[in-house]
Amino acid sequence: MILTARLRPTKRRRIAGAIAALTLAALALLLAVGSAAAKCLPIAGAQPKVIPAALPAPGSLRLTFLGHSSFLIESAEGVSAVTDYNGWIRPPVVPDVVTMNNAHDTHYTDVVDPEIQLVLRGWDPGGGMAVHEHQLRDLKVWNLPTNVRDLGGVRYNGNSIFVFEIADLCIAHLGHLHHLLTEEHLGQLGMIDVLLAPIDGIYTMAQSLMLEVIEQIGAPTVIPMHYFGTATLARFLDLAKPRYGAVYSKSSSIVLERGKLPYRKILILPPREAETPFYSDD
């Protein structure tokens, strides 16, 4: 015979309520323990990183001329890169990626902030050929080696053109380029949208030869760099006038996106540390 305990409804409700209360208390304890563990595991040992408050919109990038041949490139996903990182022209944030060339010590440094994730040298310290190809979220960067004049001779593969693929655009930084490009170079570069070109006319190439390189690559937008004063810039713009118009930016920082690039224009950005000498109302 099976004996069945018959409890009054009020007593059954009290017992059910007590069981429910214990169950909820146990569940709350488990959630609290799990929550405490989840907060610690992902961030243990992580270093804080300063990210600009206003990132470029999706499909665009922000380019800032820091000075000499250094530019800061910032993506919509918060990736930042600095070209020809040299330790004395400092970006406003610690970048994720830096590129360097070593024709002169104004284009590289051996003292690199340890928070920088990728340090890409445009030469091989061992004497070979530097080869880079990296993807960091929405930024891809790779290099094309070129040669450098060195004490009357040639240092093969001593410079790199770095290409940044970002926001559906290809930006090429010529570095310390010393010669015209071959058909093989041009084939490897492909279609370049924005060209960052040294126009000093002395330490890299004569301005007339740099214009030939610009024509070889055929980028719709050219941004001059690596020049010393407005007189040098004026000479270059005068040489380029039959082929390219000039557009002056009042800010060292601009936002670029496909479909809105200045076409067949030389876009002059004032250096971040000395903007006013290059202001124009044009």
> 53-70 pLDDT, tens per residue?
489 999 999 999 999 999
Q: Does residue 41 sit within a domain? A: no
Res. 12: pLDDT tops 50: no
Give the pLDDT mean for 212-220. 97
| pLDDT at residue 17 in the model | 54
Average per-residue pLDDT for the chain? 82
| pLDDT at residue 226 in the model | 94
| pLDDT at residue 268 in the model | 97
| pLDDT at residue 65 in the model | 97
Res. 213: pLDDT tops 60: yes
Return the structure tokens found at 215: 């024509």
Q: Does residue 158 sit within a domain? A: yes
Its domain, for residue 133, covers 60-278
| CB 91, CB 72: distance < 8 Å | yes
Cα distances (Å, whole numbers) of residue 167 to 27, 56, 79: 47, 10, 12
| pLDDT at residue 243 in the model | 93
Neighbours of 196 (CB within 10 A): 28
CATH number at residue 129: 3.60.15.10
Query: Which of the listed ranges 101-115, 146-160, 208-222 does the model predict with the highest average pLDDT?
Result: 208-222
Neighbours of 104 (CB within 10 A): 13
Q: How many domains does the chain have?
A: 1
Q: Does residue 103 sit within a domain? A: yes
Q: Does residue 184 sit within a domain? A: yes
